[in-house]
Amino acid sequence: MNNIIKAQVAARANQTLRTACITGTGSYVPEKILTNADLEKMVETSNEWIVERTGIEERHIAAPDQPTSALGAKAAQRALEAAGVAPEDVDMIITATITPDMVFPNTACLIQETIGAKNAFCFDLEAACSGFLYSLDVAAQFIATGRADTVLVIGAEKISSITDWSDRSMCVLFGDAAGAAVVQHRPGANGLLASVMRSDGGLSDLLKLPAGGSRMPASEETVKAGLHYMKMNGREVFKHAVNSMVGAARDAMESCGLTIDDIKLVIPHQANMRIVNAIAGRLGGAPEQYFINLHKYGNTSAASVIVALDEAARAGRLDKGDLVMLIAFGGGFVWGAGILEWWTP
Ligand SMILES: CC(C)(COP(=O)(O)OP(=O)(O)OC[C@H]1O[C@@H](n2cnc3c(N)ncnc32)[C@H](O)[C@@H]1OP(=O)(O)O)[C@@H](O)C(=O)NCCC(=O)NCCS
């Protein structure tokens, strides 16, 4: 266990650091639904294979004129409404995404313009499927020091734009979505109790989008070779995902002296039902402690955890004071776990 994490947990508990609470959430999924039956007509696959190996039944696909910022802006507006915060009162916007509208300007700036958050400073954070979790911790640090009072944390992805629709091993797994959270200090409330973030760049080859960056700029050859699409070694990723998420979740619980029985709801990264089952098998707890919506959306990368948290909150699965554990894993590799005391007015 990292001493820095323990020190932060202690400082938050003693209220010597300003704590950071989620005071409102929102999410948005595009209208168009792509079912497993639709995919059967596109590649050689079957509903049975997809459901058995992944648990995914359908996913949502953004319209051609809907970039990531359009999805993120809708989720952000819903989160602001839920928190009762006016756009002008947002100090900072972080957008976690691997599918930015453009390399630059950053997607958070584009969302800022759409929602009218004219007093915010804005940047993107790229930590693949762990992007929301990483961004939440960054927001908490800015709030802890008093550098920001109101932070909008967004996880938004148009993964369909980097999916090879002729590759059956990839195209069945992903979907488009966005989620957002307003993060603020609430005196006396604990908010984000613990956050564990880990990375291993030595495993970067197992899940990546090879071309379009400075290493391999876009060219006729890269387009022909399909190098602007995600590539993954599914079996290896599966193994690392399970081990890494279990380790991070255990560390996060240990840093606060908690066990799985203290956690009301676990929100794991919604990539694959078999991964979630393997994690649940090792962490323990009752099946109803694990929130699942991946059958409806597939893996929506940085949007995954926050869309699930928003759905859980709106479904009344969380009461004030409940502990919720978020767990994520993604390309990099980057992974982590956060424990949050739920706050409501
Ligand atoms: C991708 C994944 C579902 C594949 O399941 P798997 O059980 O490992 O399957 P394999 O990749 O070994 O493939 C088994 C067979 O199914 C085939 N297959 C792959 N995709 C298929 C599909 N959509 N439909 C039908 N068959 C498919 C393969 O070609 C292979 O056939 P072969 O044995 O004739 O070569 C699984 O590895 C996985 O979930 N990995 C983690 C992915 C993930 O969540 N990544 C994101 C983390 S952030």
- Positions in the chain short of pLDDT 50: none
Q: Are 256 and 9 in contact (CB under 8 A)?
A: yes
Q: Which domains does the chain have, with CATH numbers?
A: 3-184 (3.40.47.10), 192-341 (3.40.47.10)
Can you tell me which atom of ligand 1 is nearest the CA of 54? Answer: 3
DSSP structure class, residue 260: G
The confidence score (pLDDT) of residue 147 equals: 96
Question: CA 130, 136, 139, 140: dihedral to nearest 10 degrees?
Answer: -130
Using DSSP, state whether 123 is helix, strand or coil. strand
The confidence score (pLDDT) of residue 327 equals: 98
The confidence score (pLDDT) of residue 1 equals: 53
Q: How far is the CA of 51 from the centre of ligand 1 (A)?
A: 12
Taking CB atoms and a 6 Å cutoff, what residues make up the pocket around ligand 1?
45, 49-50, 53-54, 129, 168-169, 172, 232, 234-235, 237-238, 241, 271-272, 275, 299, 329-330
In 36-120, the DSSP E strands lie at: 58-61, 92-96
Distance separating alpha carbons of residues 226 and 214, to the nearest angstrom: 17
Q: For tokens 């648990």, what's the residue? A: 55
Lookup: tokens for 33: 């639904």
Lookup: tokens for 111: 């969302």
The confidence score (pLDDT) of residue 261 equals: 96
The confidence score (pLDDT) of residue 52 equals: 98
Distance separating alpha carbons of residues 80 and 328, to the nearest angstrom: 24
Of all protein residues, the one whose alpha carbon is nearest to atom 24 of ligand 1 is 45
**Tell me: the pLDDT tens digits for 4-24?**
677 777 777 776 789 999 999
DSSP structure class, residue 103: S
Choose among 121, 90, 119, 122: nearest CA to 106.
122
Sign of CA dihedral 66, 33, 129, 234: negative
Q: Which of 129, 209, 238, 327 to mutate to test the pocket of ligand 1 (most atoms within 8 A of CB)?
A: 238
Q: Are 269 and 306 in contact (CB under 8 A)?
A: no
Whole-model pTM: value is 0.96
The confidence score (pLDDT) of residue 2 equals: 63
